[in-house]
Amino acid sequence: MRNFIVFLLSTIPTLALGDWEVNLPRGVTPTSVLAYDLHMLIFYITVIIGIGVFGVMFYSIIHHRKSKGVVPANFHENTKIEIVWTVIPFLILVGMAIPATQALILMEDTSEAEVTLKVTGYQWMWKYEYLEDNVSFLSRIDSESNKARKLNSGVDVSNVKNYLLEVDNPIVLPVNAKIRLLLTAGDVIHAWWVPELGGKKDAVPGFVNEMWFNINKPGIYRGQCAELCGKDHAFMPIVVKAVSKAEYEKWVMNQQNNNKIANKK
């Protein structure tokens, strides 16, 4: 027993805590912010309900206990009370349903998009096609992460930057523009998910799902396939690079020129 305790104590300095997160990310798109705000609204409503219910319960337990000589009321039904505890929850649910319905309608409105990006999931990579600009490419896990993930690779993954969350070809998209995604798959079901963009949709063979977002802040946003799609499911990262519209147009021109050169060869 003593040796076991010594062993446990010896491991304490090597333990590491992850980032202390207690809530959802707010995100950088209108839909992600809306989802966060709706989540917080419902959360505060449930907190108020919980405080009220438990407050009444504990008050009754303390002030109406037998040791104080309180005699319980002798009644079976009370129509007024039954109406009240039916109507009030109904009104609360209606009040929560209105903003939730508005949010869902907004999230499903993919009209008037400035950029349409077709996303096709494969085992185990993504194909991206910019339909207006005739640009397409495959995006796989980067070679450094791919090497480190293999059994007996001898690589210390803690030294690999963005381990399992880096790709060879990131998506480049403009900020402050409505981006429409068309999602499908070429083999099994995948799911395209970037938490900070506030959306996750299945990519299903033979079907096209839609989603949209409008990135309001330049930066790099990372995600992964969120559907168990096979043995290398864990190695399908997504990287979105959000840039200014001028930088995006320049990137598109470079991609088009590279495609022309590749086609000539």
For 94-107, what is each residue's pLDDT tens digit? 999 999 999 999 99
Best-predicted range by mean pLDDT (69-73, 223-227, 255-259): 223-227
**CB-based contact 230:255 (threshold 8 Å):** no
pLDDT per residue as tens digits for the range 211-253: 999 999 999 999 999 999 999 999 999 999 999 999 999 999 9
pLDDT per residue as tens digits for the range 19-70: 667 788 889 999 999 999 999 999 999 999 999 999 999 998 998 888 888 8
C-alpha distances in angstroms, 36 versus 28, 98, 105, 132, 180? 11, 16, 16, 32, 21
Phi-psi region of 133 (alpha: psi -120 to 50; beta: other; left: phi over 0): alpha
Task: Return d(Cα 247, Cα 226) in angstroms, integer.
Answer: 30
170, HSE (Cβ side, Cα atoms, 13 Å): 17
Does domain 115-153+162-264 correspond to CATH entry 2.70.98.40? no
Residues belonging to the chain? 265
Buried/exposed code over 246-256 (b: 16+ C-beta within 10 A; e: otherwise): eebeebbeebe
**CB-based contact 191:199 (threshold 8 Å):** no
pLDDT per residue as tens digits for the range 169-207: 999 999 999 999 999 999 999 999 999 998 899 999 999
- The three-class DSSP label of residue 224 is strand
Task: Return d(Cα 233, Cα 223) in angstroms, integer.
Answer: 13
Burial zone of 162 (CB within 10 Å; 0-12 exposed, 13-18 middle, 19+ buried): middle
Per domain, the residue ranges of the chain are: 30-67+78-107, 115-153+162-264
Query: Please, which pLDDT band fits residue 263 given cuts at 50, 70 and 90?
Result: low
